[in-house]
Amino acid sequence: AQTVTQSQPEMSVQEAETVTLSCTYDTSENNYYLFWYKQPPSRQMILVIRQEAYKQQNATENRFSVNFQKAAKSFSLKISDSQLGDTAMYFCAFMKPEGNTGKLIFGQGTTLQVKP
Amino acid sequence: DAMVIQNPRYQVTQFGKPVTLSCSQTLNHNVMYWYQQKSSQAPKLLFHYYDKDFNNEADTPDNFQSRRPNTSFCFLDIRSPGLGDAAMYLCATSTGPTYEQYFGPGTRLTVT
């Protein structure tokens, strides 16, 4: 069975600085997807970034980028130029595709506080 | 805008009184998911539909049922809610090939 571990329950960062959230996972699969989801307080969960395991290039979405180390089974999220609106709980998630569906297996989450 | 809608946003029910939570989508996605999320925890998948094919997670209690009458709507029925069922219930949709899941705002269920 796949597992996802986020070892940092809480983190804080000053506005405009850079922060990295850690995530490791365990799987014997070769074809899978990794995601970072953001859940702001009392608001819905949204996708931040997605990485396909077969792609060596790290995914980037504006201020968000990942460091995907497949051999080490590590998938960290870097947030550059942190903004107050980045305050949220961040979940790392693993998915093994099963046809047109796939079950997300979430880590425990990291609560990020961006301070002014 | 295309979206996932959940009603109601807040639901209070009594111990043992059946309750139904609703999810609708305008994305026309063929997969719909129900998750349970307890306070400050990760969402836990209860079941999902691929079109009309129902897939139950092995550890989902029998107390939880679901219906999907058409592509747009999906319902979560809790037949006899217990205090331990108090949680946020999230609906999500997806379609291939990106496997991205789009979440609704959730329904917070309180059991008294």
The stretch A19-23 carries a mean pLDDT of 98
Smallest CA-to-CA distance from A29 within A85, A109, A98 is with: A98
pLDDT (tens digit per residue) in B92-103: 999 877 788 999
User: Residue B2's pLDDT is what?
Assistant: 64
Tell me whether residues B94 and A47 touch, CB distance under 8 A: no
Q: Quote the minimal CA–CA distance from A93 to chain B in Å.
A: 10
Residue B43 has pLDDT above 90, yes or no: yes
pLDDT (tens digit per residue) in B55-72: 999 899 999 999 999 999
User: Residue A42's pLDDT is what?
Assistant: 79
User: Residue B1's pLDDT is what?
Assistant: 65
pLDDT interval class at A56 (50, 70, 90): confident
The stretch A22-40 carries a mean pLDDT of 95
Please provide the DSSP assignment of B37-68 as one string: E-TTS--EEEEEEETTEEEE-TTS-TTEEEE-
Which of A 34-93 lie inside 8 A of B, CB atoms? 35, 37, 43-47, 50, 89, 91
Tell me whether residues B103 and A45 touch, CB distance under 8 A: yes
If you average pLDDT over every residue of chain A, what do you get? 94
User: Residue A41's pLDDT is what?
Assistant: 86
Smallest CA-to-CA distance from A102 within B99, B25, B73 is with: B99
d(CA A114, CA A79): 11
The stretch B10-38 carries a mean pLDDT of 95
The percent of residues above 70 in pLDDT, for chain A, comes to 100
Pair of tokens at residue B105: 């705002």
The percent of residues above 90 in pLDDT, for chain B, comes to 88
pLDDT interval class at A100 (50, 70, 90): confident
Chain A: residue whose CA lies nearest to B88 = A42
